[in-house]
A and B are shown apart, each in its own frame.
Chain A
Amino acid sequence: MSENPSVPLPRTELQRRYERRMQLLVPAGLEMLRGLKLFAGIPEKARDKVIEKVRKYIHVASFVPGDVVMREGDYSDSAYYIVSGEVEVVLSPVPGRKERPQVRGGAHAPPAGAAPGPQLTGMIGRPETNGTIMLSGFPVDALPSRRILMGADEVFGELSALSRYPISATVVAQEPLSLLQLRLPALRMLMAASKEFKAFLDQRYRERTLARHLRNVSLFATVDEPFLERVKAQAELLSFEPGQLIVSEGTPADAFFLVRGGYVKVSVRTGSSELAVTYLRKGDYAGEAALLLDEPWPFSLQALEHVELVKLPRDTFRELLAAYPELQEILWTESIARLKARGSVLRQPVSSEYVQMAMDTGLIHGESVLLIDLHTCTRCDECVRGCASAHGGEPRFIREGLKYRNWLVPTACYQCTDPVCMVDCPTGAITRQVGTLEVTIDEPTCIGCTNCAKRCPWNNIVMVERDEKRADGKPVEVASKCDLCLGRKEGPACVQMCPQGSAVRVSFKDLDRVRATLE
């Protein structure tokens, strides 16, 4: 890249580049698609129908040598299929950098003015760390500065799209490049329609990523390579649609599940209704209780959204325990906690209400959700006023939203664990520091494309006008949202400025603390 990454580009330039890129993205032609090997696995009769459906979500993107297709650390919702040309995959952890690296939005990855190059970081887990994991979908093993080239008929980026992990490497065009950008709905449809395609993707996951993924789960951290290879060979990769039942309570337990991506609801049956106990996110596992105790499933598992699971059969699990007895302790602790939660929910069904509510409304995504206790809130707007004065006169949230019992959930950004708003940002204005909660929008970089505002399921991002004028005379709009008062010493202004102490920010990762706050 020719420009110096540390000098910010003016907004007009960013806007221009975005528009140019949009022009370079053309919907794929029917003929071209028909001829691709990608669709070879679909039966003849259904092919046209499938192609018709997925066409909306497939673009042809052209790159010149030197263009960055994907940047390490970005969130993406697309996989890329190389039609012609060559790319280089650059995996370059840079130790000793002083600034905190940023995870940025931007699948299209035009150059942006922000700092480059994040680092690989640590564990996902709950509730201890806030770290974001980077799993690699590339045929590498985290060896630094090794040059990897990919050519025609290769696919990359599908792991990030399916499992919503940040991209683990930077992909740079080496030759004039023609790519097919397959967005997430297209991917899913193809996986459902073509068993070959699914097998193809699964194979890549199994070879390249599964081991790393398992390693990053605390359970398998100390397991040695050969064992891990065996586990890899025996693991089954499953996908579930939203609402689909994965496991029913009372059925014999014969598997151990590891969540690859998506949210899974854990519930227990009482009478004729289901009570939500907790939920599982990527990196969590289920089934250890049943297997250890040799009991049927004590819960039901249901997919809340598109869920990808890794399933280990019972025998493999038993072997694991036999080979590594020290793992039992971790498992027992986890099981006991889960069973306790289950018991308390059965005794007090009302306490699962908020879990259900959180799942229904999507609050479980939130790392820091603003809640206002309406019992003590005098509707004085001090929180909004404080937010406004902390942000130059303009507030970043509205005191409107869902009401659950006596709690109001205003439209302040929930600082999601896997922010969907970050996926489509063309300039990388929306970022999150690795290891922190705040998802922030850098105003000079934002060109007002409204992608993030449209993507946020709760409309927590609002477009605001600025005095600057665009080329066509209309005022520039930028996206604005709560940034947890990053840079403010005392923390979020809304919490500090409430005279009644009604405003609290809770993380829905720790359900016990949530219960304590809500009651």
Chain B
Amino acid sequence: MIRFDNVGKTYAPLGGTRVPAVAGMSFEIAAGEVFGIAGPNGAGKSTMISMLLGFIAPTAGTVTVGGQRPRDFVEAEGIGYLSELVAIKPSWLVNEAMLRFATLAGTRADRLQARVDELLASFGLEEHANKRIKQLSKGTLQRVALAQALLAADVRVMVFDEPTHGLDPVWTQSFRELVPTLRRDDRAIVIASHNLDELGRLADRVAIVDRGALVRIVDMRSGVSDTAVTRYRIVFRGDADALRAVFPDATMNGVGEAEISVAGLADLNRGLGALIGRGVLISSVAPAYSGLEEQFRQAVRSNA
């Protein structure tokens, strides 16, 4: 559905320094997939999304959406899009803004208000319908932006850029529950977020980008990596020297608690067996970081 083929983007302001934002980026996102994009600030996430929507053109390579140039696709079908910067005219009323977006999304005139009411209700915005955009809190504005992204029910591509930014825990959870309901066999969903825990829960695959490069794509469906070096937190009762003998790079967090590094599940279980063999009692073993978080740390470190 979405294809980045050796894509590069260099900003060249008039009389300014050329700034490479993205380089040599290639990946595909299939229909039916929820695809995450993670990366530190300035990694190139926003540039990738701008190219995906056809707001800017790549300076190298090609981006296609549904086999077309992004702008052609958007103008033909539209994309359900929540931008990181929610820019809606401050003087518009919430209901008015939604009616405008619904009109542009192609909602039939006789269905306009009903569709808007439906979404306002879904996002708890009824009481704000007659408020001006400038009167809304950050979280409420974010809900308006989310609601407008869902106006067209039949879009084949959805893009959420920092979707839970500013949302309280209740609405963050609602968004997490919403995404699985948006899945369709013919729809690709892209979520860019700083929140790795969120991406870990929602996405099938997550692209980790850093300094404009695609460092790796983590497949969340395959569970814990069999080979990646992962840190675990282990709580035990027994001799700490025995622990160090089995896991030489173990770091003690206190009495009876340590962090260990292992190269995959097999390595972990071998080490635990050896530890038990030395008379150490283990009461808990858990990843020190989520699988994605660990991969993210490694990817960003390796790209430094």
Q: Are both chains from one complex?
A: no
Interface residues of A (CB under 8 A from B): none
